[in-house]
Structure 1
Amino acid sequence: MDGGTHAPQPHLTISTHMKRSHFLTISAAVFTLLSVNVSAQTPLNNGISVRDAVNKSRLVHYTIQVPENAEGLEVSLANVKPDQDTDLYIRKDGKPTRDHWDFRPFVQGANELVTIDANSDPKLVPGATYHIAVGSQLDKKAEYSLRAAFILPNSDGGTPSATRRYRITWVNDPATTATVAWEQISGEAGTVYYDTQDHGTDASKYTFKKSVDREIKHFDMRNCFVRLEKLQPDTKYYFVIQDQSGTSNRYYFQTAATEQKPFSFCAGGDSRNFREPRQQANRLVSKLRPLFVAFTGDMINQDISVEWHEWLDDWQQTITHDGRIIPILPHRGNHERNGNSTIYNLFDTTPDNYYALNFSRDLMRFYVLNSEISAGGEQLDWLQTDLRSHSSKTRHLVAGYHKPMRPVVAAKKEGTDEYDHWAPLFYLHGVDLVFESDSHAVKRTKPVRPFNGEGSTEGFIESSNDPKATVYTGEGCWGAPLRAAQDLKPWIAAAGTFNSFDWTHVHKDRIELRTVKVSAKEAKVGQNTDETPFNIPANLELWEPESGTVLTVPGD
């Protein structure tokens, strides 16, 4: 290929040699030239995908400037719906057209990927601006997701690995285990090198290493999971992932303590549709530096590949500026509509998507429940057995699930299954705090107990002086379309409608909950450190209902 005009020919073969072994070969018949409408060029941000739609009447144009130290540029185009087809055009010297481009992968009906680097033809020009266009051969609009990402040297200037979309999950003991997960872009799966000392990106200096325990292709990603065990409690673990391509940036995570040490965590759900508030919330998490995030379902809208690529790209914004990855406890919601396999195959949790974890020995036990399967049956049997074993010796009992028992949005159905099976059990064992989602509103209840007699409303009655009563909070505002909170029961302490998540401080004698408001003001919020996780950062916007900014739940 040369970088000039490429006119369609009856038999055209294009071969681009790329660092990550992406080869494009085309044998094509005559291509019909279509008219192109001139349009503005939208600047792209590194690693952040954009959504739009296009038909055959025009091209949609974008630009991205490659930094001087870049080793490559990856541009990926994904069709949102499988019956649609979009086309990718890339050119360095000006806008591409249907017959003037430097890179054009002719892939019918499939996602398209171009890697521009020292081995491609033409080669990458560091510092240059690349012009990208998306078109279609269809009369109707074809919806797509476009992402451009730099291939940069790792943090020590070395060649990066072919890995991305990192996440840490906890399924077993968070003091001694952790699962490191990522997408392997190409080549053999990488190896995790880890240590309690920071050795930067020099994998050879790390004391421990572990290869992949589980790899599965799901949502058009090679999801790799390394299950680390026998870790030290309350310790920072530094790690890199090394593969045939190179070495990732250095990241780290913090294990939980085994003594009753206070900690903080964030909880919320429903990040479905709107990426701007979702990204703002994620960046706030990175600034607060909680021990973990309990994400109570509906990460995405349609449970399709494009949405999960975008969600995981956005999740990278929870990583702190110094490389700390905050572990996630993912819950299944109704929009994870492909079943339990979605959460299991993306996060390596349990196949049934329910489990429980102790934090700070017996300071708190957190129950990840699945409201998208029966609340009775095997899940109820397990929950009853676990609560009987732990309720008497655990200071705080906390649960999370997606579908609320009594939503504050009138159009939402009552959670009868959850109420019938779980509410009595929560009260019997003194569960202190429950996080719900789904309604796209905000609520806090007073301490309540299940009761259907005089003075009750919809099966609950306020029971503020009862040490076994439960506070229910949440209802999901991490980026989904907001709904009015108008179904207010007498035992509702506060309700509202705004993007938010809960920030919870767990102490020996109490739990303190604050609701963080999510908006563009996030950019001016200060940052906590690992040593100051309970500080209120400068300019952090907190909900201030009449019932009080801080909801305090006493320990049992």
Structure 2
Amino acid sequence: MQRNYIRIVLLTAMALLTITVIVLLAKGSSEEIPEHVIQLEPSSEPIHIRVLFEQNPATEAQVSWTTTAEGDNHILYFDTEPRGGEASAYRFSSEDIHSGKYSLRPEEEGMDSWYHHAYMSNLEPNTSYYVMVETDESKSDEYYFITAPDDDRSVALLMGGDSRVGHSRIEEDNNRRKMNERMKQLFEEHPHILALAHTADYTNRAYWSELYWWLKDHYETTTASDNRLLPIIPSRGNHDLDVGFEEKFYWPNRENDFYYATQINSETVMIVLNTEISISGDQKDWLEQTLKEVRPNNRNVAVMFHKPLYPSVRAYDGSERRRRAWGPLLEEHGVDFVAVGHDHALKRTVPILNEKADPNGIVYIGDGGLGVSTREVVSDRWYLQSPGMTKSAYNVHFVEFNEDHIGITAFGMNGDVLDEFMIPADREERTSYYESILQAVSSR
């Protein structure tokens, strides 16, 4: 009896062991290293060269690059005249470089890479800065960027978000690169474009094996043919919560958790908010104080963040907390428009005040179409009815701040115009215009 019992126990244990081995083998085979996790050869050659703008793009910028070897000496050379990459010819240089190793997950072994951030201050407004970077005598080509104006000349932004892609991230013709090519064409056609204001969600997760490809795509497919770099004005979304995001978008002595105000020209401010932290408390207090300060002194005040107040795809009730927290403040201070992402579509709402169509209201644009797979929109929502619009489409917004109006044009992946809208600068003229387009629809 006891011998049979022992035999049953042993057989059961062997069966359990066999099942465990099978499960582990199956798990191991299903967790093969993804294609985007590649082995990087150690090199001091600068790659991923880029420019970051935040609060004062007329006088501050940050030039960043990546190397796959740590390196000992990192230098930024810069000048207001092209120097053809001759290091000794540049009038200015900086070795005050913030460097560090990108955080890696265990499966990213072999992708060792280092970030290098060169902060620049006391720059001249509306000026071309020619830059070259160096790590251990490995030098980049010469590139340039243009600082923001400090007067009221016309200036433009490219606006959009959700540029994350899935398995296609390593492909040379993925949708993110296609949208980048569209932005590059606009950038070359409209030299007064200052930067890409990104409404967040750059990659599926802010892991280095994904950020590597995003930075590669941005550098390779948005840099103009004359080596002008397209600066980035960043915001943070729900797919950007890992430490790699902070390593990629480091800024010295950052005051807040990725919410700030950017002075685009002397009459235009864009407020950037963070939907991934508390929307009340410190951020809401900061928003209220900032609106009080900038609204009286600027003709144009725009706001950018990731998750919408008025979604085109997701549940309306899911945005209620944000509408309650931020909506009344934005309306009280007469914000001109709000740009968002998150829903993977295209939209422009009717002017909204107190959650109703109103000629004194705010227009919301978005909804994130820079490469991520698009979603079907819910087109019968009241705020998306004509004169508003929505569509399942890849898109980027070209937003132009002029003396008498803000022009907004949404372009599709193939360069087709998907939407056009104008916001008059004069408030009485704007109200009259909004009233006319709302009445035109209601009288049909």
Please tell me the residue identity of whatever aligns with 1:301. N
User: d(CA) in 2 for partners of 1:347 and 1:410?
Assistant: 28
State whether structure 2 residue 280 is matched by structure 1 residue 280. Answer: no
User: d(CA) in 2 for partners of 1:394 and 1:344?
Assistant: 30
Task: Check conservation: 2:66, 2:114, Cα contact below 8 A.
Answer: yes
State whether structure 2 residue 101 is matched by structure 1 residue 217. Answer: yes
User: d(CA) in 2 for partners of 1:369 and 1:485?
Assistant: 24
**Shift of the alpha carbon at 1:247?**
1.4
Which structure has the higher relative contact order (CA within 8 Å, separation 6+)? 2
C-alpha spacing 1:486/1:235, structure 2 compared with 1 (3 Å): same
State whether structure 2 residue 72 is matched by structure 1 residue 174. Answer: no
RMSD: 2.3
**Structure-to-structure mapping, 1:364-379, within 5 angstroms:** 364-379=268-283
User: d(CA) in 2 for partners of 1:263 and 1:147?
Assistant: 40
**Structure-to-structure mapping, 1:464-543, within 5 angstroms:** 464=359, 466=360, 469-486=361-378, 488-492=380-384, 493-518=388-413, 521=414, 540-543=415-418
Cα distance per residue 1:37-72 (max 9 Å; x no partner): xxxxxxxxxxxxxxxxxxxxxxxxxxxxxxxxxxxx
**Shift of the alpha carbon at 1:273?**
1.7
Structure 1 gap segments, 5+ residues each: 1-82, 85-136, 152-159, 452-459, 522-539, 544-548
**Structure-to-structure mapping, 1:142-291, within 5 angstroms:** 142-145=33-36, 162-186=45-69, 187-220=71-104, 221-274=113-166, 275=169, 276-289=174-187, 290-291=193-194
Task: Check conservation: 1:404, 1:414, Cα contact below 8 A.
Answer: no
User: d(CA) in 1 for partners of 2:260 and 2:142?
Assistant: 30
Cα distance per residue 1:137-189 (max 9 Å; x no partner): 958643232669999xxxxxxxx962111221112311111111111332124
**Shift of the alpha carbon at 1:436?**
0.9
SS at 1:415 equivalent: helix
Please tell me the residue identity of whatever aligns with 1:508. E
Count of equivalent residues: 374
C-alpha spacing 1:292/1:298, structure 2 compared with 1 (3 Å): same
**Shift of the alpha carbon at 1:359?**
1.5
SS at 1:297 equivalent: coil
Structure 2 gap segments, 5+ residues each: 1-23, 105-112, 188-192, 428-444
1:455 corresponds to: none
**Shift of the alpha carbon at 1:504?**
0.7
Task: Check conservation: 1:182, 1:224, Cα contact below 8 A.
Answer: yes
| Bigger proportion of residues as strand | 1
Scaled by the length of structure 1, the TM-score of the pair is 0.64
SS at 1:332 equivalent: coil
**Shift of the alpha carbon at 1:417?**
2.5
Task: Check conservation: 2:183, 2:396, Cα contact below 8 A.
Answer: no
User: d(CA) in 1 for partners of 2:50 and 2:350?
Assistant: 35
C-alpha spacing 1:209/1:267, structure 2 compared with 1 (3 Å): same
Task: Check conservation: 1:238, 1:253, Cα contact below 8 A.
Answer: yes
- Choose which of 329, 351, 354 in structure 1 pairs with 2:259: 354
Task: Check conservation: 1:437, 1:475, Cα contact below 8 A.
Answer: yes
Aligned residues with identical type, % of pairs: 28
2:15 corresponds to: none
2:6 corresponds to: none
C-alpha spacing 1:200/1:411, structure 2 compared with 1 (3 Å): same
2:423 corresponds to: 553
C-alpha spacing 1:209/1:402, structure 2 compared with 1 (3 Å): same
| Bigger proportion of residues as helix | 2
**Shift of the alpha carbon at 1:337?**
3.0
- Choose which of 402, 415, 419 in structure 1 pairs with 2:323: 419
State whether structure 2 residue 351 is matched by structure 1 residue 447. Answer: yes
Cα distance per residue 1:279-336 (max 9 Å; x no partner): 0111222221221011111111132221111111111111111111111011111111
User: d(CA) in 2 for partners of 1:343 and 1:416?
Assistant: 27
Task: Check conservation: 2:207, 2:244, Cα contact below 8 A.
Answer: no
User: d(CA) in 2 for partners of 1:189 and 1:482?
Assistant: 44
Task: Check conservation: 2:314, 2:343, Cα contact below 8 A.
Answer: no
C-alpha spacing 1:244/1:354, structure 2 compared with 1 (3 Å): same
- Choose which of 321, 345, 348 in structure 1 pairs with 2:247: 345
Task: Check conservation: 2:275, 2:306, Cα contact below 8 A.
Answer: yes
**Shift of the alpha carbon at 1:414?**
2.2
C-alpha spacing 1:359/1:410, structure 2 compared with 1 (3 Å): closer
User: d(CA) in 1 for partners of 2:64 and 2:274?
Assistant: 22
Cα distance per residue 1:334-353 (max 9 Å; x no partner): 11132xx4433211243501
User: d(CA) in 1 for partners of 2:232 and 2:33?
Assistant: 34
State whether structure 2 residue 229 is matched by structure 1 residue 325. Answer: yes
- Choose which of 214, 229, 240 in structure 2 pairs with 1:311: 214
User: d(CA) in 1 for partners of 2:309 and 2:295?
Assistant: 22
Please tell me the residue identity of whatever aligns with 2:86. D
User: d(CA) in 2 for partners of 1:412 and 1:218?
Assistant: 38
State whether structure 2 residue 289 is matched by structure 1 residue 385. Answer: yes
C-alpha spacing 1:138/1:443, structure 2 compared with 1 (3 Å): closer
**Shift of the alpha carbon at 1:502?**
0.8
Scaled by the length of structure 2, the TM-score of the pair is 0.79
Task: Check conservation: 1:217, 1:223, Cα contact below 8 A.
Answer: yes
Please tell me the residue identity of whatever aligns with 1:354. Y
